[in-house]
Chains A and B, each alone.
Chain A
């Protein structure tokens, strides 16, 4: 465990920082590939333009852009949680703007990782009016393997 908190003012200043990554498109190809990846089945038909599509499609956007780089504060890192959320279903043919946000950076003492730093980032997908339609969030923990107990994330 470090002698003092690793959450310096510089690190804390990252929280809330937004970065516009660019536009993503809900295309038939993206939806088809995402359905195939998660169900193992090639869909025989797809929703028409303007119709709701399965939320899997959000995964097709995640490789389009790199999020903001985060400081490496501890020797090891691991995904401990992730989530998708939707204010409404995604629609075939729509274009959304992806915005990357550092939602929180917190430190934890004890637990299975010993002293660790959790960083939650979120990519928000906004419509043309700036309303958030969907979010994809990741929580990573940074820790020292030497101080961690058995177990771990995904």
Chain B
């Protein structure tokens, strides 16, 4: 489990608190969405998960290990994989497989084992067959899946995604969303996703809402999607499918709040 114990953080001594007394958890096998308007502290929270930032006060524990302890920092980083918004900012290798191997190489995994990990990670994100492709010849969606594979090759227990779909087209967005869900549900990773994407939020197990560095919501997606005031506070707008679901509820049909994309909406009506 990743546990935030009363975590506060500021970037400079004279800056306001970016996170203010945050207590949250992420369990293995669950998908937690982190939402909030620009500057609410979402990305800060993500970067605290693997010790890229250290709490100003409080503690972040990854399976009981304090991320601020210098001697275990690299253990923590190999336990928590990170994927950022812009795929081009995180691809280091000049061909796909070399990039995927970068993490395991850094922690001294033997060559033969790296090969096994690279092959299975690329297969897990559907990039098999593109091992020798140069990154700039990949689509944005493929680049982002490569970033996911690079994180997976570290064999992490937790995966933290910082707005992974913001720069992708709808098809790329759906592919990355499916991969994140499968990693949690089928492979038992704990997945934390910072996102604006209502479809992803509605399908999460739990949602953490941040406003000016404070946790203002922590609960299931239904509770959030049904609360117009909270949605506005967190800078979220209902997707057209969610608005269609609301219109159907007004007509007396039994559509759950979590039906925020076309598939789950129709699936809930024709079970």
Tell me if chain B binds chain A: no
A residues bordering B, Cβ < 8 Å?
Answer: none
